[in-house]
Amino acid sequence: MNILLLGYGKMGKIIGEIAETRGHHITAKINIDNRDELEGLDPAQIDVAIEFSQPDAAFDNISWAISREIPVVAGTTGWLDKKPKIETLTNEKNTAFFYASNFSVGVNIFFKVNSFLSSLMKEQDSYIVSMEEIHHTEKKDAPSGTAITLAEGILQEIPKLKDWKLSEGMPVSEQILPITSKRIDPAPGTHIVRYRSEIDNIEISHTAHSRKGFAVGAVLVAEWIKNKKGVLSMDDFLSF
């Protein structure tokens, strides 16, 4: 399979290494310094693009590929206000767009555990829920895409919560889910959901030991997406 890497930072490099060990060919490695090379590429020679760049580059990168009917597997966070435009373009071009805030199988199981726990807690008014996420200092956006996905899972299950807010320790209202973001090297990613009451605390957490789990998941999805159409997610891939 011929893979175009859109974004060649730490994640892009690990993805490239894993893809090559699985017998795939890296057509090009695009980053901010050589983005002009995109126009010289032949879309017919690209089976899939894997996009792990920066929030300010993601939309343009994904648009370039989708416009040329190249399926895209995207993991960049911090640009999702423009995601509906990509979904519309995907359908217009009859290709495939796959987005996940986190490609780790373990994290996606954690999403399900989070939603289940939230469903159990929705009538337990004595508990106050909060979230904390920890990433490396090179991560540009806060809170993380994974934290936002967790927050959305909680909001869907607990009616009294109307929104989430980056709190950084600041008090928020009872209708707001507070998220604390910390940037500490070399942490690849920790997410903690806490329910606190006067009687006890309930806590679930996921800690990544390296970026490899994210990268392996992205390559597996890139292999899976061949010949598929439409807007896809980890639920489709894992068939939850």
CATH number of the CATH domain containing 87: 3.40.50.720
Claim to verify: residue 187 and residue 218 sit in the same structural domain: no
Same domain, 174 and 219: no
List the CATH number of the domain containing 119.
3.30.360.10
* 135 catalytically annotated: yes
What is the number of domains present in the chain?
2
Question: What pLDDT, on the 0 to 100 scale, is given for residue 240?
Answer: 56
Q: Say yes or no: 110 and 86 in one domain.
A: no
Taking the C-alpha atoms of residue 47 and residue 123, their distance in angstroms, rounded to an integer, is 48
On whether both 202 and 120 belong to a single domain, the answer is: yes
Same domain, 27 and 88: yes
The neighbour count for residue 10, using CB atoms within 10 Å, is 14
Which of 139, 162, 206, 212 is labelled catalytic?
139
Q: Is the dihedral of CA 141, 144, 148, 151 positive or negative?
A: negative
Residues 145 and 196 in one domain: yes
Is residue 6 domain-shared with residue 24, that is, in the same domain? yes
Is 191 one of the annotated active-site residues of the chain?
A: no
Distance CA 28, CA 5 (A): 6
Query: Residue 80's pLDDT is what?
Result: 92
Identify whether the C-beta of residue 129 lies closer than 8 Å to the C-beta of residue 154: yes
Residue 62 sits in the same domain as residue 21: yes
The pLDDT of residue 4? 98
> 37 and 55 in one domain?
yes
pLDDT of residue 164: 96
- Quote the DSSP letter at residue 206: E
Same domain, 61 and 136: no
Judgement on whether residues 112 and 135 belong to the same structural domain of the protein: yes
Report the distance separating Cα 55 and Cα 166, nearest Å.
18
Q: Are 114 and 193 in contact (CB under 8 A)?
A: yes
Catalytic residue among 24, 82, 83, 135: 135
* Domain housing 98: 2-103+212-238
Other C-beta atoms closer than 10 Å to the C-beta of 115 total 15
Per run of 10 residues, the mean pLDDT along the chain (length 240 residues) is 96 96 97 93 97 95 98 94 97 97 90 97 94 88 90 96 85 87 89 97 94 91 95 87
* DSSP letter for each residue of the chain: -EEEEE--SHHHHHHHHHHHHTT-EEEEEE-TTSGGGGGGS-GGG-SEEEE---HHHHHHHHHHHHHTT--EEE---S-GGGHHHHHHHHHHHT-EEEE-S---HHHHHHHHHHHHHHHHHTT-TT-EEEEEEEE-TT--SSS-HHHHHHHHHHHHH-TT--EEEE-TT----TTEEEEEEEE-TT---EEEEEEE-SS-EEEEEEE-S-SHHHHHHHHHHHHHTTT--EEE-HHHHHT-
Q: Are residues 13 and 52 in the same domain?
A: yes
Is it true that the peptide bond before 186 is cis, omega within 30 degrees of 0?
Answer: yes
Residue 78: name the closest of 51, 96, 104, 105 by CA.
51
